[in-house]
Amino acid sequence: MTAPAATAGTATRNEGRPWKATAVTGLLLLPAALWYFLLLVAPLFIVVVFSFGEKARNGGYAPAFSFENYGEVLERAEPFFASLRLASAGTLLTLLVGLPLAYFIATRAGRHKGVLVLLLVVPFWTSFLIRAYSWLITLGPRGAAGFFQDTFGDPAFRILGTELGVLIGMTYGYLPLMIFPLYVTLERMDRTLIEASKDLGAGRFATFRQITLPIILPGVITGSILVFIPMMGEYVIPAILGYGRTFLIGNALVLDFLEARNWPAGSAKAVGLIALMLVTITFYLWFLNRGRQTRDVSVL
């Protein structure tokens, strides 16, 4: 009689523990949940509400329910396409530049690894605005543009005020955000896998495609998202290096919210920007996962 009673008591205590664990977990997550709601969900909800309103007489927001702002977004979608084009090109360019550099630091730098990582961090100690202004000299008539003008004899050649100049500035500004995730994944990579691949007769390209690329894929995804999202909403670099001629969605948002004070139109553009980024990132993740599954099947 004693053994069944003890067993029943133990079962009763075990049944009560999950509730206690759930309550403690919920209590620990409550501050983060409130922080998330106040700083992300609530502002996003306000923006969505504003997007259906109309401009007040003196600027700002007036309550209404209209799809006119979204119709304007569809009619004037060029800033979205320009931002998507430059952000995609900038993400690809940072990947092409950052991957060899991250690979070299992680596998070939040796005892100089810490110094090189520090050199990547140093630009973050300087204001982003100052770093953007420094490219005015580098790409201006006394810099790269002047060199190409003298070399090809074309006085009309220029880099500043074009999408090329904006792309160079964006790539430089967000390059470390691509390098660090790649460096972390490459640093943790098991080198014996590469040695085994070479011992089995695989070439460098085959080893990279079948071994290195699947391992660093999480770093590629993380770095691409970290770079793509801020590039889509970039405003400072197009305003400085583009001379205002490269009009991206970030410039349109500043124009609506700060200058025209048309908050509903700006809110509709912001909602459209968020939707565009969600669709693009979802397709990007789907494409990478599909490619990874294809590689796994080919290996088997």
CATH topology of domain 77-299: MetI-like fold (1.10.3720)
pLDDT (0 to 100) of residue 4: 52
For the cut 80, the answer to whether the pLDDT of residue 12 exceeds it is: no
Average pLDDT over residues 196-204: 79
- pLDDT tens string 69-117: 999 888 888 999 999 999 999 999 999 999 999 989 988 888 888 888 8
Average pLDDT over residues 254-279: 91
- pLDDT tens string 149-184: 887 777 778 889 899 999 999 999 999 999 999 999
Sketch the domain layout of the chain as residue ranges: 77-299
pLDDT (0 to 100) of residue 267: 93
Q: What is the DSSP string of the chain?
A: -HHHHHHHHHHHHHHHHHHHHHHHHHHHHHHHHHHHIIIIIHHHHHHHHHHTSB--TTSB-B----SHHHHHHHHT-HHHHHHHHHHHHHHHHHHHHHHHHHHHHHHT-GGGHHHHHHHHHGGGGS-HHHHHHHHHHHSSTTTHHHHHHHHHT-TT--STTSHHHHHHHHHHHHHHHHHHHHHHHHHTS-HHHHHHHHHTT--HHHHIIIIIHHHHHHHHHHHHHHHHHHHHT--HHHHHHSTT-S--HHHHHHIIIIIS-BHHHHHHHHHHHHHHHHHHHHHHHHHHHHHHHHHHHHH-
